[in-house]
Structure 1
Amino acid sequence: MFLRPRSFRLRLFICVKLLVFILFFHVLELIVFTRFHFDTILDPILELHQCYMDELPGIISEKWTSNKFIILEDVLLSDIKPTPGRTIFFLETKCQSPDSDLKYIMTLTARQACSIESAALNNPNFQVFVIFANPKVIDKKNRFINVIQSYKNVHLRQLNIWRYAKNTPVEDWVLTDNMFLSSYPTEHSSDLLRLLTLYRFGGIYMDLDVVVLRSLENVPLNYVGTEFYGLLSNAVISLEPTGIGHEVAELFLREFQQNFNGTSYIFNGPMLIKRVLATICGTKSVKEMTNNPRLCHGVRVFDPSAFFVLQKLFYLFDPKFLEIAMEKTKNSYLIHLWNKYSKKCLLKADSNTAYGKYAEQHCPKTYEAAGEFL
């Protein structure tokens, strides 16, 4: 049965109108989704850019340019720079209070100060540089900052990520802001900056949750450590500023750039160290790499006793394990506190624990300034 022309045109008009209506809502939905998706990507990038900007905002700079505060110098622009191959580095990449001016005030916990003091105390002929990844001002009233600044070989600096990456293998990659799209921007920026630091200066990088127990001044550079057989760590890395050390640093950076994974916590850190050393050493077996620098072209992989022998927190914080912990660490260069987990462990300064004893001996000024709790 055929439709009459008038009836057909009416139905066609209704169908076209309905299609236009549906199409309009699909376009509107696409615009809203795109806007939302763009904002979810852009917001964290803008927030991190505020943290890692080149300098303090003018109004804040004016407010804090006084006798109470000192603005940190840029590590690349200051008169006193790290001595290549004779410097211990600590890095802080966390952006404190991103929505507040407080993110520009340098803060240190007692345990961070202990890490720095123990490195300076046990290595008086090395420079110790503590570098912040965003502009910072020093509050002269901060007790722990005053402690570490009492050591003449300690220097506090800031850096600008984009300037720091210039003339390195990752310069162009850093400009893409891929790192800021990471699920772990603080950790992954720390992974990158420690490699950039060793590429630029060589020396020794340490996490801010260690206690140095012995001098490292006479330990040949070019080493990492194992946490346990099968896993290497990037919490302690040493490389020469030239020769094989510099070549390894370049390999680390190229591997970081080419295979960056923003969704994995350790892929760009400990796992990266293992991938590169597997190529250098010609084996994927960490057991074969360990204490075998000849196999690894001069790079030494220390066994766990050097840096990571205490892998259970109770050894550090439980008085019942004091003697065992002391025995286990008698030949260690440092102990690692695993801050991600141990920060929840409150410890009285006078407690009869391995960490308390080591803090009293190797960071005595911090120990005294800490008061009741470490």
Structure 2
Amino acid sequence: MLKELQLSLWVALLLVCGFLYQLTVKSSCFFCLPPSKSPQGLEALLGQGRSIVFLETSERMEPPSLVSCAVESAARIYPEHPVVFLMKGLSNFTQLPPNSTYSAFSLLSAIDNVFLFPLDMKRLFEDTPLFSWYTQVNAGTERNWLYVSSDASRLAVIWKYGGIYMDTDVISIRPIPEENFLAAQASKFSSNGVFGFLAHHPFLWGCMENFVEHYNSDIWGHQGPDLMTRMLRVWCKLGDFQEVSDLRCLNVSFLHPQRFYPIPFSEWRRYYEVWDTDPSFNDSYALHLWNYMNREGRAVVRGSNTLVENLYRKHCPRTYRDLIQGPEGSVTGELGPPNE
């Protein structure tokens, strides 16, 4: 009888130990996506060709509030589309630092159509013109590497799978009705902060070839908006925009600057100012907030009634509610964007 009791206690102890072990494994794998969240895997999810894609090419794990707002706003505007956030610092074995909360990461993870995956550049560049460049380049000595690697990654992911790429400082306000498009930053000058194509579009293949052939990381934007602009000029003869109307060349739409850049980069501070009447942005699909220009570290402050605060309140209410505090509280910093 005593032996049976001892055996029962040993079995119970083993079961408890097994449970605690599983609990420890799950808690240490904080950033692992639950199977029910992403049953198809990254490639199958992207392969649907309808994804909205964001990238983080630094090792940063906690998105600033502007990044959170960009992803949340896209998830709200495109509820039937997967919103995929590829993060270089993310892996299945990432451990939480002591006493960290990762509020923004948790917020985005809880949104039904937002999916967070590791960014594996080497695998992403396979079967593209970028692979040989990536396997030979020394990232540690490259100037502007965070931006250059982001410029390359966005070309590869949209060429391979199709969909819409957006920078992490782009706030979505209404759906983009185009499949193959570039966003004009100014007349005859293209941005690469927002673009969309069907999978295997030849324009993006040409962009990747040009990226490698004319690679120069010392010039900021040479592999990004400058590349898109020079390729667009090869692709077609650009005219000037007439009022708020888009241009079309072959099967690519070149969208008017009002669609994403109603406030030009030279006036980026206006987002952080109080307006007598907030603009409607009726001609815009999304707003690029020019975070690269924000070297002053201007932030969104609750109760400030600035344009950007009102945009947060309307288009990313979860981010506004959970991450934005008043002037006396600490505010999630906007400074130091790894991606424009």
Shared fold, TM over 0.5: yes
Partner of 1:224: 182
Aligned residues: 289
Shift of 1:349: 1.8
Q: Deviation of residue 354 (structure 1)? A: 1.5
- Asked which structure has the greater RCO (Cα within 8 Å, sep 6+), the reply is 2
Residue 114 (structure 1) aligns with: 69
Task: Name the CA shift for 1:78/1:220 in 2 (closer, same or farther; >3 Å).
Answer: closer
CA deviation map 1:84-117 (0-9, x unaligned): 3210000000234xxxxxxxxx211111100000
CA distance in 2, matches of 1:180, 1:299: 36
Structure 1 residue 331: Cα displacement: 2.3
Q: How does 1:243-254 map to 2 (within 5 A)?
A: 246-254=201-209
- What is the SS of the residue equivalent to 2:209? helix
Code of the residue aligned with 1:229 in structure 2: it is: S
Q: 1:276 to 1:355 in 2, by over 3 A?
A: same
Over residues 123-163 of structure 1, what are the superposed CA-to-partner deviations in whole Å (9 max), with x where a residue is unaligned?
A: 10111000013444375932212221222110000122111
CA distance in 2, matches of 1:154, 1:355: 23
Of 157, 166, 189 in structure 1, the residue corresponding to residue 126 of structure 2 is 166
Counting only pairs closer than 5 Å after superposition, residues 93-132 of structure 1 correspond to structure 2 as 93-96=57-60, 106-132=61-87
Match for 2:48: what amino acid? P
State the Cα distance separating 1:72 from its structure 2 match.
4.7
Question: 2: CA distance between counterparts of 1:333 and 1:138?
Answer: 38
1:335 partnered with 2:287: yes
Alignment of 1:290-301 (within 5 A): 291-293=246-248, 296-301=249-254
Give the one of 225, 232, 243 matched to 1:270: 225
Is 1:67 equivalent to 2:27 in the alignment? yes
Q: Tell me how far 1:174 sits from its aligned partner.
A: 1.5
Cα deviations by residue, 1:20-46 (Å, 9 ceiling, x for unpaired): xxxxxxxxxxxxxxxxxxxxxxxxxxx
8 A contact 1:179–1:188 mirrored in 2: no
Deviation of residue 189 (structure 1)? 0.3
Evaluate the alpha carbon distance shift between residue 259 and residue 241 of structure 1 in structure 2; reply closer, same or farther with a 3 A threshold.
same
Task: Give, as a single letter, the amino acid of the residue that structure 1 aligns with 2:259.
Answer: A
Q: Counterparts of 1:65 and 1:355 in 2: how far apart (Å)?
A: 41
Query: Aligned match of 2:169 in 209, 212, 216?
Result: 209
Q: Hey, what does 2:114 align to over in structure 1? A: 154
- Structure 2 matches for 1:1-374, cutoff 5 A? 65-72=25-32, 78=42, 81-96=45-60, 106-136=61-91, 137=94, 139=96, 141-177=101-137, 181-216=141-176, 219-242=177-200, 246-283=201-238, 287=241, 291-293=246-248, 296-311=249-264, 312-319=267-274, 321-323=275-277, 325-327=278-280, 329-342=281-294, 344-372=297-325, 373=331
Q: Tell me how far 1:175 sits from its aligned partner.
A: 1.2
Change (3 A) 1:177 1:153: same
Verify the 8 A CA contact 2:216 2:222 in the aligned structure 1. yes
Secondary structure of 2:122's partner?
helix
Q: What is the alpha-carbon root mean square deviation over aligned residues? A: 2.5
Q: Which has the higher helix share?
A: 1
Contact 2:130 2:152 (8 Å CA) reproduced: no
Specify the SS of the correspondent of 1:331: coil
Give yes or no for contact 1:227–1:309 (8 Å, CA) kept in 2. no
Q: SS of the residue aligned with 1:326?
A: coil
Provide the secondary structure at the position in 2 that maps to 1:67: helix
In structure 2, the CA distance between the partners of 1:192 and 1:336, relative to structure 1 (3 Å rule), is same
C-alpha separation in 1, matches of 2:313 and 2:213: 44
Check the 8 A contact 2:52/2:163 in 1, yes or no. yes
Partner Cα distance (1:279, 1:121) in 2: 36
Q: CA separation in 2, counterparts of 1:261 and 1:318?
A: 36
Partner of 1:10: none
